Amino acid sequence: MSGSGRWTDLAPRIGSAVVMVAVGVLALWAGSGVFHVFVALLCGAMTWELLRMLNGQSGVMPLILGGVAAVALLAAIHLPAIYTLPVFAAPVALAVLAARQYRPVCAAFMALILLAGFEMTLLRDGPGLVWIIWLILIVVVSDVAGYFAGRLLGGPKFWPRVSPKKTWSGTVAGWLGAAVVGAVFATQLESSLLLVPYSMLVAFAAQMGDIAESAVKRLVGVKDSSNLIPGHGGFLDRFDGMLGASFFVLAVTGLFGLPAGAV
Indicate whether 217 belongs to any domain: yes
Mark whether 144 and 263 lie in a shared domain: yes
Confidence of residue 152 (pLDDT cuts 50, 70, 90): confident
Mark whether 198 and 82 lie in a shared domain: no
Mark whether 145 and 62 lie in a shared domain: no
pLDDT tens by residue, 161-215: 777 677 888 899 999 999 999 999 999 888 788 999 999 999 999 999 999 998 9
0.75 cut: is pTM over it? yes
Looking at 126, 157, 173, the residue that finishes a domain is 126
C-alpha–C-alpha distance, residues 71 and 112, integer Å: 16
C-alpha–C-alpha distance, residues 65 and 92, integer Å: 9
Continuous segment of H or E residues that includes residue 28? helix 10-29
140 pLDDT higher than 70: yes
Indicate whether 21 belongs to any domain: no
Domain limits for position 167: 128-263
The total of structural domains in the chain comes to 2
| Residues near 33 by beta carbon (within 8 Å), at least 6 away in sequence | none
Within 10 Å of residue 63's Cβ, how many Cβ atoms?
A: 16
Mark whether 162 and 233 lie in a shared domain: yes
Mark whether 134 and 262 lie in a shared domain: yes
C-alpha–C-alpha distance, residues 142 and 163, integer Å: 17
pLDDT tens by residue, 32-53: 999 999 999 999 999 999 998 8
Looking at 92, 126, 160, the residue that finishes a domain is 126
Indicate whether 13 belongs to any domain: no
